[in-house]
Homo-oligomer: A and B are copies of this chain.
């Protein structure tokens, strides 16, 4: 198996690039992102109005969001800055989904003013929204099935019963009734209970659950649902032995359920929305870093110029990210290394006991699947600075779409003219 098949750059290209853009950097592939978005939309082209609201938190870069917008994606937001980014790239309100929890008043106000679709997380949010923003014509609620959804093969985001999100089934009936009384006329339903899920059945099960619930809610409350938001959660194969979700097959299986539970029950038209983030950009982004130190103690270490500030998943979740030593794709993987960053925490390791070709100083390492929840999760712990983001355009040109942080950025919230500095000469 060729686990380096998706690389859209060679060692030589990176070598050349690094003269202009020093490592480490994240690099994304426009072509890959566009083709993948088209695959997703094609898989659901049987339902009118299908839309993926890209989960901005996965890759909150407006250049990437703009590409996805051009491919038909909206934006799934849960904070003021994410709403502002969506506005800046020119998304109309109808293409912004505001799915937030424990929401501050100002964020509801902004979402309301933008005309975003507001997806409420709790029944207590109804009076809060009304008081701080108003009652929108279109309203959605997030469902938390709690103990009603507890199957062994579902990679839930924790157990739904332990999850802070959403309304109970009983609350949903009350919530839509209240919103109808208050003047809302258009309705949506949402849930999000799987994350990084590679099992198509788990995703299908969520669709089945929501279709049935819409059927019950519609019958009881005499309301028509305009959309169902199946959530995101389509996983990506981080490990070489894993397989990507077959989007076409997923679309087909959800279509059968839709025919049976929506069309045959007279509940169509019902738009299907999703809010995938990871699968939209994850595989099309790499963290590129350079080997700068080797260390031989109780284990063999390669120190690179990236650290946890650029990619937290291995350190935070012990997540596997595949690594290619550029230019050595065909060499034997006969060396066992820990690949480490410079952060002063022992979990700052991109890989532990990883078999790789012999690494020399100056070699470039491409860390795979860094296009989602990569740069976005970076922190500045230990004074570490977040790296730049580059985009390989469809025509092969490289564009810097976010500059690297500088120490000045790191100091920006500090006042060096304040009391602590009054007695100092310079």
- Interface residue ranges, A against B (CB under 8 Å): 56-57, 60-63, 66, 77-82, 84-85, 88-90, 99-104, 121-122, 124-125, 128, 144, 146-147, 157-158, 160-168, 171, 292-299, 301, 303-305, 307, 312, 316, 338, 340-342, 344, 346, 348-349, 376-386, 388, 399, 401-405, 407, 409-416, 418-421, 424
A166 touches B413 (CB 8 A): no
| A-B contacts, 13 listed (Cβ < 8 Å) | A60-B383, A62-B420, A79-B342, A100-B342, A102-B292, A102-B303, A103-B293, A103-B342, A104-B292, A146-B298, A157-B346, A312-B379, A403-B413
**CB nearest to A90 among chain B residues:** B424
| Total copies of the chain | 2
* CB–CB A344/B60 < 8 A: no
Contacts of A296 in B (CB 8 A): 124
**With A57-B344, A102-B340, A407-B84 as given contacts, are A147 and B381 in contact (CB-CB < 8 Å)?**
no
Chain B residues with CB under 8 Å of A57's CB are 344, 381-383
The answer, among B66, B102, B348, B349, for a CB contact under 8 Å with A420, is: B66
Min CB–CB distance A46 → chain B (angstroms) = 30
Contact B81 A166 (CB under 8 A): no
Besides the known contacts A124-B293, A162-B298, A377-B381, 13 further A-B residue pairs in the complex with CB atoms under 8 A apart: A57-B382, A62-B416, A78-B382, A81-B385, A84-B411, A101-B303, A102-B340, A104-B342, A147-B298, A161-B298, A164-B295, A164-B301, A168-B297
Are A297 and B346 in touch, CB under 8 angstroms?
no
* Residues on B with beta carbons closer than 8 Å to the beta carbon of A104: 292, 305, 342
In the assembled complex, which residues on chain B have CB atoms less than 8 Å from the CB atom of A301?
A: 164
Of all chain B residues, which has the CB nearest A82? B383
Closest B-chain residue to A61, C-beta based? B414
**Residue pair B340, A79 in contact (C-beta under 8 Å):** no
Q: Which residues of B contact A377 (CB under 8 A)?
A: 379, 381
Partner of A293, one of B122, B379, B401: B122
Residues in B neighbouring A79, C-beta threshold 8 A: 342, 382-384
Residue of B nearest to A144 (CB): B297
- Contact (Cβ within 8 A) A341 B382: no
Q: Do residues A414 and B342 form an inter-chain contact, with CB atoms below 8 A?
A: no
Q: Is the CB of A63 within 8 A of B419?
A: yes
Of the listed residues A82, A100, A101, A376, the one surrounded by the most CB atoms of chain B closer than 10 A to its CB is A101
CB distance from A99 to the nearest CB of B (A): 8
Across the A-B interface, the 7 shortest Cβ-Cβ residue pairs:
A102-B303, A81-B383, A79-B383, A379-B379, A102-B342, A66-B420, A82-B383
Q: CB-CB < 8 A to A312: which residues of B?
A: 379
A80/B407 in contact, CB under 8 A? yes
Find out whether the CB atom of A295 lies under 8 angstroms from the CB atom of B124. yes
